[in-house]
Amino acid sequence: MAKEKIILGLDPGTNVMGYGLILVRKPKVDLLQFGVIHLSKYAGHELRLKKIFERVISLIDEFSPDEVALEAPFFGKNVQSMLKLGRAQGVAIAASLSREIPIVEYAPKKVKQSVTGNGNASKEQVARMLMAQFAIKELPKLLDATDALAVALCHHFQKGETKAKTKTWEAFVKENPGRAK
């Protein structure tokens, strides 16, 4: 039987950063904690980045995750906003790396597809699916929390569904006799 694994999911932002922690004990996945870090109350961008670093470190120190899953940057029209978001993501990555925790990034569409079956699902649809999955009684006010939880769950699903790729055509034919003619 595989050992337990804790996954920390992060949805970095410069105003609100979501986080979600799950415990994987196959075949069961349990919710440990999820929430948001309010950053808009801090005046400068540099101070917000410092708070992201400190909070990610504190989550790592408290829960000792085995892996960190992060929502990858998306492309927007406002270049300044994208740069700030990229910095927030970089700081979250640096915090994880400083504790030698492996990191994986997932595109927003991949996360939505993995959790809801629809890569174009709304934040509300993702949140409702997670509410059902983890028996969460109330929809969070800020969906950054459920977005981060979705990233952690997506990572779990991707690890569980990844199959070794066939290396040669002969191996493929041998493994799939009815598919190759």
What is the residue whose two structure tokens read 């990034």?
A: 105
The verdict on whether 66 is a catalytic residue reads no
Of the listed 4, 11, 46, 54, which one is catalytic? 11
Q: Is 30 annotated as a binding residue?
A: no
Calculated CA dihedral for residues 128, 131, 136, 137, nearest 10 degrees: 40
Distance, in Å, from the CA atom of 31 to the CA atom of 133, rounded to the nearest integer, reads: 9
Of the listed 71, 105, 161, 175, which one is catalytic? 71
Distance, in Å, from the CA atom of 132 to the CA atom of 156, rounded to the nearest integer, reads: 17
Tokens matching residue 136? 């969460």
Q: Is 100 annotated as a binding residue?
A: no
Nearest in space to 37 (alpha carbons), one of 115, 136, 144, 121: 144
Q: Is 147 annotated as a binding residue?
A: no
Known binding residues for Mg(2+) are: 11, 71, 144
Q: Which residues does the annotation mark as catalytic? A: 11, 71, 144
